[in-house]
Amino acid sequence: MAKRAEARSLGVAVPGPIHKQDLRQRVVGRIVELIRTGNLRPGDRLPPERELVEIFSISRPSLREAMRALSTLGIVESRHGGGTFVTDLDARTLLAPLDIFLQLAQVNIEDTFESRRIIEIEIVRKAATQAKRADIADLKEMIAAHATIQKDPVGFRILDSRFHEKLSSIAGNAVLQRIADGLYNMDLHIRRRATAEPGLIAQSTEDHAGIAAAIAAHDPERAAAAMAQHLTHIKESTKRTMASQKFGVV
């Protein structure tokens, strides 16, 4: 009881006892509510485990499971030797579990590329309206770098990833960026093989150049059309690679 009184004296809203049913979910809900109402803020250190056990009237194993759930959701983080803290609650942190879901989910190729079209076309539209001089210079530098990796699939994959990340960064929407990153990583093992396909790097270079030029011209619709064409080419090469794997073609 002393710990509960101490917490109240510090101005922290202390939840009442929690019934055994759904203990972990209730703890998670209470922590989220404390954050929503401003009683807990980014960077705040949670009380030690022994105090939380008393505050929430919960067993240590159940509390630890609740903390693991909050950590998975990107809401809290443990620091070695320093306790448990509320994260920065940035969208990239909170949406991190989405990456795991997208990478593990068994989603068919049509759904994957329909989702990529919705997200990445919107990203390049926003990029075309928001790109600054430095952003355009970065894109031009990347397009120029394509000349050095025409026969280097590994180099191309690194540059391709950097190019798509830059588009999301220019758009400036953290939620779109997180979703785009997760979708980009889906079926990546197949697209790695596709980069060895003759002409693919040259085609992607041409596509990237078209997207970059549209953004440099601050033309959202032209950028959207260029991205749509690029995603069609990626989808087609991915399907060809899947077909060759299915029939044992190396």
The dihedrals phi and psi of 107, each to the nearest 5 degrees, come to: -115, 135
Domain tally, the chain: 2
Residues 117 and 212 in one domain: yes
In CATH, what number is assigned to the domain containing residue 23? 1.10.10.10
Question: What is the structure's pLDDT at 1?
Answer: 46
- CA-wise closest residue to 157 among 120, 192, 196: 192
CA atoms within 13 Å, Cβ hemisphere of 51: 14
Give Cα 128 distance to the centre of its chain: 22
Residues 154 and 78 in one domain: no
Angle between helices 174-185 and 109-130 (to 10 degrees): 140
Residues 115 and 72 in one domain: no
Residues 164 and 241 in one domain: yes
Q: With b meaning 16 or more CB within 10 Å and e meaning fewer, what string describes 170-186?
A: bbebbebbbbbbbbbeb
Residue 13 three-state SS? coil
This prediction has a pTM of 0.64
Length of the chain: 250
**How far is the first Cα of the chain from the last one, in angstroms, to the nearest whole number?**
69
Print pLDDT tens along the chain (250 aa).
444 454 443 344 445 444 444 777 888 888 888 888 888 889 999 999 999 998 888 889 889 988 988 887 788 888 877 899 998 877 666 666 666 555 555 556 788 889 899 999 999 999 999 999 999 999 999 999 999 999 999 999 999 999 999 999 999 988 888 888 888 877 777 778 888 888 999 999 999 999 999 999 999 999 999 999 999 999 999 888 888 765 343 3
Question: What is the structure's pLDDT at 247?
Answer: 38
Check residue 209 and give left, alpha or beta (phi > 0: left; psi -120 to 50: alpha): alpha
Cα–Cα distance, 5 to 10 (Å, whole number) = 9
Cα–Cα distance, 211 to 206 (Å, whole number) = 9
Residues 129 and 77 in one domain: no
Question: What is the structure's pLDDT at 65?
Answer: 87
Residues 80 and 111 in one domain: no
Structural domain boundaries, residue 58: 2-89
